[in-house]
Amino acid sequence: MEKPVFSLIAVSTIDGKIAKHARHMSDWSSKEDKDFLHKMLGKSDVAIVGNNTYEVAQKPLSKRNVIVFTRKVQESLVKSKKLIFINPQNTNIAQFCEKNSYKNIAVLGGAKTFNYFLNQNLVNEIFLTIEPIAFGSGIALFDSGDKTEKFELVSLKKLNKKGTVLLHYRKK
């Protein structure tokens, strides 16, 4: 069986914030970033989101295979053919994806979910969009990671005229 590839897909500000607060939707990100996200979702076998992110992104994700990370279930709870709730503390997510033949996995956040993958050593790729804006304070991409991880830059692209930038990194 092929190993799953976990790609973290995030949009951040110049000062590294993915949101102003936990319930802040990405209404500040550019059309070009949203287009890129949809393209990436189209190429992914499943999307993984945390519970908060799922609640704000339920509609755009409704037609896709989705894993929701939550502590509200003991291990896992199948909600529909395309939707499963999983407690990542009690489930081996890499094994779960392998068993379900999920090869390309889009991890969409939020911060807790991103942190989980970093701390579990499961980040294979990062697609980071940087919008030309600064929040001054807010939620970081990672905030409770306990190790330094090196990556290599695969590509670098300017997405629009105002200067939204897309960085693609691969785990070194």
Among 35, 58, 95, 156, binds a second copy (CB under 8 A): 156
Q: Give the three-class secondary structure for 8.
A: strand
Does 11 sit near a second copy (CB under 8 A)? no
Asked whether 82 and 64 are in contact (CB, 8 A), the reply is: yes
Q: Is residue 101 left, alpha or beta, with left meaning phi > 0 and alpha meaning psi from -120 to 50?
A: left
Residue 139 CA to residue 155 CA, distance in Å, equals: 25
Burial of 95 (0-12, 13-18, 19+ CB in 10 A): exposed
CB of 91 to a second copy, least distance (A): 22
Does 128 sit near a second copy (CB under 8 A)? yes
Among 90, 120, 121, 144, binds a second copy (CB under 8 A): 144
Among 6, 17, 109, 122, binds a second copy (CB under 8 A): 17
Does 22 sit near a second copy (CB under 8 A)? no
Q: Residues interacting with a second copy, by CB under 8 A?
A: 12, 14-17, 20, 28, 115, 118-119, 123, 126, 128, 130, 132-137, 140-154, 156, 158, 162-165, 167, 169, 172
